[in-house]
Amino acid sequence: MRTAYSVETVRNAERELMARLPEGALMQRAAAGLAAACADLLGGGSGAGRVSAVGRVYGSKVVVLAGSGANGGDALYAGARLAARGARVWAVPLAADRTHEGGLAALLGAGGRVADDPFEVLAVADLVLDGITGIGGRGGLRPDAVPVARAARGGRGVIVAVDLPSGVEADSGEVAGEALRADATVTFGAYKPGLLIDPAREYAGALRLVDIGLGPYLPSVPELEALQHEDVARLLPAPTGESDKYRRGVVGIVAGSARYPGAAVLAVAGALRGGAGAVRYVGPGGDAVIAHYPETLVHEGPPSKAGRVQAWAVGPGLGDGPGVADALASDVPVLVDADGLRLLDPATVRARTAPTLLTPHAGEAAALLGVDRAEVESGRLAAVRELAARYGATVLLKGSTTLVASPDQGVPVRVNPTGTPWLATAGSGDVLSGLAGSLLASGLDPRDAASAAAYLHGLAGRLASHGAPVTAHEVAEAVRGAWRDVVGVRAGA
């Protein structure tokens, strides 16, 4: 599990740890880890967007952009370490009289210099350390930092953000104004939410975490968590000798309409790959569904007359078709997506006795919240939390970063680490609905079902795409490969 902690939590932990260490020790740990990561990148270490051409630290040209806080201190001390290994290092202090004194002295003592002309050195730098702001930064870059940041980006050097790319909001992932896009970010003690959530995540490049000993002082519950293969493997259902199709769970799919018949097929395609023992389709698209998947049980509806299911997934391509209210009136978990989300009444959802899972994209989330789509996209974390609270439901917010929030207090939001922008293709959300509904039917709680489905769906997207366009149907077909990859089954086994 990868975890992320808010600025306040990180600062509290740092305070406790610092009280037990000699003055300045923590900054030295950070600087040592940062310098090691830079040496790796200068040596051609991969992972970052740009790769340094110099091949070694000795003789390389390094520029340190130093803001007025401790973030600048980290960068300057790391610069000093690189200078001691033979790099030519220039400092560019951005707040002349408030530069970290100890850091600057260390850099000058190791043979580094203050740049006479920042733009001249940025043009030739092999590596630029962005120490303008870290967790103390507020708002985008200040105007005086903007030309320097642009020159850094315009040069050929690898840009390494210290703790965070300067200009991004650590707690929310928002970017209010201009920020410095990095090739790699070396972060200290813990990931911050902004490093994992777009738009800020886009600015961070490859992530590296430097352990500065904060672990024992961080609370057990983070603000944000990202499942990894082993976490998802533990969640996925596996049939046993006792299993039969009903015990494995039956998922009901309410999707498709005369206008969108394909949505029924795609939602069923996802559901069939999701671990339920049977898929029951309810709606007008039964013929198309059977033509593609004869293993589906079909019924014209309404859902309450279609037979017992352990969970419903309602909404993809439904248009104004019926079925949402009927499914919501049931006593089993219900996933509501797409057209099912229109006019969804919070009171109806809150009154349900079984869990509800909503899966909006940014446009649907914006409509539910009564705000602009851009507001949701720039503040995903706040939007998903607000929706979960308002509806008393688990919410999976789709998009470039997929987030899953629980309505319960003190439960970390999950951020999905898999996926590819190639998933932005018509119908891929329908596949996700079916997949998540199937996992709900097989007994996962809504938060686990949503995050495991997003994980598999994102991985399937990557496997099916391999860097080329992919269709929703192919994503569904690749789910089995993703599942095997997650549970560690090798081909041929």
Ligand X SMILES: NC(=O)C1=CN([C@@H]2O[C@H](COP(=O)(O)OP(=O)(O)OC[C@H]3O[C@@H](n4cnc5c(N)ncnc54)[C@H](O)[C@@H]3O)[C@@H](O)[C@H]2O)[C@@H](O)CC1
Look at residues 46, 47, 84 and name the one whose alpha carbon lies nearest to residue 62.
Answer: 84
Q: How far apart are the first and last CA of the chain?
A: 27
Which is nearer to ligand X, 94 or 298 (by Cβ)? 94
> What is d(CA 190, CA 448) in angstroms, rounded to the nearest whole number?
23
Phi-psi domain of 316 (left: phi exceeds 0; alpha: psi -120 through 50; beta: other): beta
Structure tokens at 259: 């206008």
* Shortest Å distance, C-beta 363 to ligand ADP: 8
Which residues of this chain interact with ligand X, rule CB under 6 A?
14, 18, 26-27, 30, 67-72, 74, 132-139, 141-142, 145, 162-163, 188, 212
492 is in an annotated binding site: no
- The one of K ion, ligand X, ligand ADP, none whose footprint includes residue 130, by CB under 5 to 8 A per kind, is K ion
307 is in an annotated binding site: no
Helices (H), 50-114: 70-84, 101-109
Which is nearer to K ion, 192 or 273 (by Cβ)? 192
Stretch that binds ligand ADP, among 73-81, 155-163, 273-281, 399-407 (CB under 6 A): 399-407
* Shortest Å distance, C-beta 97 to K ion: 20
Which is nearer to K ion, 136 or 319 (by Cβ)? 136
Other beta carbons within 10 angstroms of residue 363's beta carbon come to 14
79 is in an annotated binding site: no
**Residue 418 contacts ligand ADP per CB under 6 A:** no
73 is in an annotated binding site: yes
Q: What are phi and psi of 55, to 5 degrees?
A: 85, -10
Stretch that binds K ion, among 85-93, 166-174, 401-409, 456-464 (CB under 5 A): 166-174
> What is d(CA 402, CA 416) in angstroms, rounded to the nearest whole number?
5
**Binds K ion by CB under 5 A, chosen from 14, 74, 130, 169:** 130
**Binds ligand ADP by CB under 6 A, chosen from 402, 418, 438, 451:** 402
DSSP state of 351: T
Which is nearer to ligand ADP, 160 or 338 (by Cβ)? 338
Which is nearer to ligand X, 146 or 371 (by Cβ)? 146
130 contacts 75 by C-beta, under 8 angstroms: yes
> What is d(CA 210, CA 191) in angstroms, rounded to the nearest whole number?
10
The residue type of 435 is L
Q: Which residues pair with 88 in a beta bridge?
A: 61
**Binds K ion by CB under 5 A, chosen from 92, 115, 121, 162:** 162
138 is in an annotated binding site: yes
Q: To which H or E segment does residue 286 belong?
A: helix 286-292
374 class by beta-carbon count within 10 Å (0-12 exposed, 13-18 middle, 19+ buried) = exposed
Q: Which residues pair with 184 in a beta bridge?
A: 160, 206
Q: Which residues are annotated as a binding site for (6S)-NADPHX?
A: 70-74, 134-140, 163, 263, 317, 361, 430
Summarize as ranges the residues that interact with ligand ADP (CB under 6 A).
338, 361, 398-400, 402, 419-421, 423-424, 426-430, 432, 457
Q: Which residues are annotated as a binding site?
A: 70-74, 130, 134-140, 163, 166, 263, 317, 361, 398-402, 429-430
Summarize as ranges the residues that interact with K ion (CB under 5 A).
130, 161-162, 166
